[in-house]
Amino acid sequence: MKKLAVFGNPIAHSLSPSIHHMFAQSCGETISYEKIECAKGNFAQALTAFFADPEAIGCNITVPFKQEAFELTQSNCDRYAMQARAVNTLLQADILRGFNTDGLGLVSDLVAQIGSLQGASVLLIGAGGAARGVIKPLLDTGVSELHISNRTFEKAKRLSDALGISQVKAMTGDELASQQYDIIVNCTSASLTGELPELGTLKIGQSQLAYDMVYGKQATPFMRHALSNGAAKVSDGLGMLIGQAAEAFYIWTGKRPAITEVQAALRDI
């Protein structure tokens, strides 16, 4: 039996156990996958206790512990975790290794929804950890430009300056007026509190896809706004969640689960 878990706080509503049990069933793996809510300040100890069991081979990490998981494993991280400075997947092999599969999860869902991203122009709204984590995987797909706009412009500017990559540019509200984007991704946490991020002069109706990283039973304010302003397609982040889980499952088992049926099943939960 492979023992797996997700660490976070809060964690009660996590869909990860359901997703990984479906993956395991379809791939012929026997797993246990539990939710572990640990107190802030107790994360490292909780991890050590979990991995004391020889059957424990890996885990997912979610809010608010991704940065701490990176700090614990930063000399043994993949390049996505290094760039994001955050880890969402751990593998206990000879040593504890850190990965960040969030960006690959987003990319796989965007490709599933609109095809190749080669040459696409992309706007990220938000400049926190969620945005930082998807930049490198998006650049790897060959997008032509990756702009970042944020309520606090200086934070977007710091993020783009730190990368120093010509396709990545922080945009002020005024600069957005003259831009059109194929894909607009809401990476802010505004949807979690039912808010629409300030979009200024953004022409959201020109986009092929307006994507919210948040998911839920109902369309988020951002999705509703994009639809009513003419965006060709809108999506929540359920596919990204399943995509990042599929990459983690592959890291742990070497098997690539099919994700379409899982997505349909989760919509019914």
221 forms part of the interface with ligand ATR (CB under 6 A)? no
Active site (annotated) includes residue 66: yes
What mask, x for binding ligand ATR by CB under 6 A, covers residues 133 to 172? -----------------xxx--x-----------------
Secondary structure element (H or E) that encloses residue 263, with its range: helix 260-267
Which tokens sit at 55? 């059957």
Answer for the pair 162, 198: CB distance below 8 angstroms, yes or no: no
Q: How many CB atoms lie within 10 A of CB 35?
A: 17
Three-state DSSP at 234 gives: strand
Q: How far is the CB of 212 from ligand ATR (least distance, A)?
A: 12
Spot the catalytic one: 66, 169, 203, 233: 66
Site for ligand ATR in 23-82 (CB under 6 A): none
**Interface region with ligand ATR, contact rule CB under 6 A, candidates 37-45, 138-146, 169-177, 188-196:** 188-196
For residue 198, state whether it binds ligand ATR (rule: CB under 6 A): yes
What is the C-alpha to C-alpha distance for residues 20 and 249, in angstroms, rounded to an integer?
7
How many chain residues interact with ligand ATR (CB under 6 A)? Answer: 15
The phi, psi pair for 2, rounded to 5°, reads: -90, 125
Is 150 annotated to bind a ligand? Reply is yes
Rounded CA-CA distance 151/197 in Å is: 8
Q: Which two tokens stand for residue 51?
A: 């991995």
Question: Which residues are tagged catalytic?
Answer: 66
Interface residues with ligand ATR (CB under 6 A)?
126-130, 150-152, 155, 188-190, 195, 197-198
Binding-site annotation: residue ranges for shikimate: 14-16, 62, 88, 102, 215, 244
